[in-house]
Structure 1
Amino acid sequence: MAPLSATTIPLLALSLGSTTAFVAPIGRGASWSLANPQRAVRSSTSAAATRHNTLRRSSAMPATSSLRMVSKVAEQKAAKLRETAAAFRAEAAELEEKQARERRENALRSFNTFDSNKDGSVDIAELKAGLESPLRRSFTKTLQARMGRKPSKEEVDERIAGLPGGTLFPDELALKLIQTYDQNGDGLLQQSEFAPTEELRTRLENLLSQQREDERLARLEERQRQMDDKMRPDTGAVVVSPGDVNDGPATTADKALSALPYLLPLVDGILFAAHLFGAFPEQTAWAQPLAAVLLALRSLPFATLIGFFSLSIGSSNPRVNKLVRFNMQQAINLDIALILPGVVGAITGGMLGADAVKLAPLSNAGSDVVFVALLAAVAYSVGTSATGRSRTSFRCWGV
């Protein structure tokens, strides 16, 4: 019996364990039943799906709640903005009504002041009488600022008498001012059409400014008309016709004459040749006679000044040949260009004083460069003029 028991007991235990693996509880008691494996799988899947849906609903609930809160806050803010805008509109309407009421009250007071005969309307005479007093005060202040003292009553009256019409408030301006506010076109201002005194003064000052501007433009037009009349042939004025302008080909005399204007810059620039003639006497011997003539011309009183103005007048004379006029203007530009190095040298010498001797080599070199450049410009201009060309210009002189 011992071997049988040793084999049978393990087999029974194995069978019991296999059986209990397919037994499912049907309640909280001790009753058990065999379970269907497929049903167990479906039950497990359904439970998992239920848990997923529950988790999804629980995660979506906070987002929906947040959106509702944001929307509610936005609606509250929008309502507050609408309330604020409505309050501003009410305040603006109240302010406009207050201003309109104040304007009506001021206009009523002004009307009662201007309507001296109490006939219910203001005519030109009453309007002038009411506005001349403040205009006179304003005119007196302006006159006092110009004179630097308070003018007397006689001085103010004298200045007013010298104005157009002899008054500060002409009738035509009073009529324009009435027409600005006259709604029914009767030439009078009733109480409903009247404006406060300050507004009337401002409008009148604008009319006065416009009148002065119109008078200024009329004077300019008259002056231009007089100038045009003077330029007409029938008035005896000198009128240059196209036939009087000498723009034709240059003759031999014109070519020779076009070289003479360059004596002016040579006379003024001969001083820059002092070092060059002293350092190279043999090489510059050929130019010594010309230098002597230039120095002699320079020593004449007002010679260069007279020559400058003569060339200026000649260069604007249309009867002079175009080639000669051109070279006259070129000579003037060269002469003007020589002013710059002379001014620079004078300022430098004045600033350095006795120490200016130390810069003598630099000053001599600068003088040599200026004189050589002048000679080159004159030679080029004379050479081109000899061929009859008049369109040569030196851009450095601004021609």
Structure 2
Amino acid sequence: MQFSLVPVLWATLLGSSAAFTGIASKPLAASQCRQFQLRTGPVLKASAEEQSQADDEIEKLKTMAAKLRAEAMALEADRAKELAEAAERAFQKFDTNQDGEISLEELKAGLEKAFKMELPEKRVQQLMNDFDTNQDGALQLNEFVGVDKFRNALEQLAREEKMAAQEAQKAAKVESEMAKFLEEQMELINDRDPSTSEKVISTLPYLFPLMDGLQFGRFLLVENADNPLVAIVAILFALYKSVPFSGFIAFIALNLLSSNPSINKLIRFNMQQAIFLDIFLFFPGLLGALYILVAQNMAGISVPPAVTEIGSDAVFFSLLVAIGYATVSSLLGKEPDQIPIISKLVQDRMPRFEVDMSQFGQVQPRKEETPGDDDKKDKKD
């Protein structure tokens, strides 16, 4: 015989639910309420007593805090009073003449006595300036801060002076190094007085315009062919012309050498002046050629040989005078800078050597600006 438990379980669950619903829906009886109050009353009473005790503790702490603050203020007042009395006693010691103020001399003497050391008057004056609030040149009692603060101020001044001295020492070292560097670099620029050999060498560049100017002196040279000087000049001219492109080579060589700062300034100046003399020889030849072209070919006028000879002799004579003046001045060690027009152009053209101290660079000739450089800069801007 088979027996099923499912109907029994369903009946049990339904009965328990009905019983619980019935209990929850019934109100508590009066006896049950009194029993609940008896059980919870002691707990509420204990909580109220604890709260009262906590409030009492807070009040006690507040009272103690107020008392401590009052004691601290009293101690602070006593300390301030002691400091004021100590400052007044120290003030009386510093104020040796008892006039109610401390002068610079009294301050210096008092500090030296207190610190047992000699103080620079500059430091004492700085202290006076720092603490003399009314700027009357003396310290009154309300400005007197006490020996300890003076000590701290002096120590601070000493530290600042030490730092300033270190900075000055560093600056002096840098300045010394820069001066040494400048001196070394300036040694590369030979602007010293020329030696005897340099005086002689400084005259040699004028052979360049002399050789190119012999074409204007052909009439004088032919007339004085027996003169030994003319023979020497003829030999030099033959050697000069034997070198291909001798004029161009001489021009380039003189121009490059005149930019060398190690060469004596007198030699460099004469190199530049020789170049300009040679350039100026171009204009008489050009004018003579144009005159002959216009007079003979266009106007049909024949130019007398005497006119050509006089013009050539005048140019050659002027060249000899300029070279003679430059040679004599150079041999005397004096810069030949009095040739009209040419010497001024040479002075403007001479390279100027500068030292870049910020970069400790090498000595370099300053770049000559051309008129077009300004326009290029403006376009870039």
Bin of the TM-score, shorter chain as denominator length: 0.3 to 0.5
TM-score norm. by structure 1 comes to: 0.37
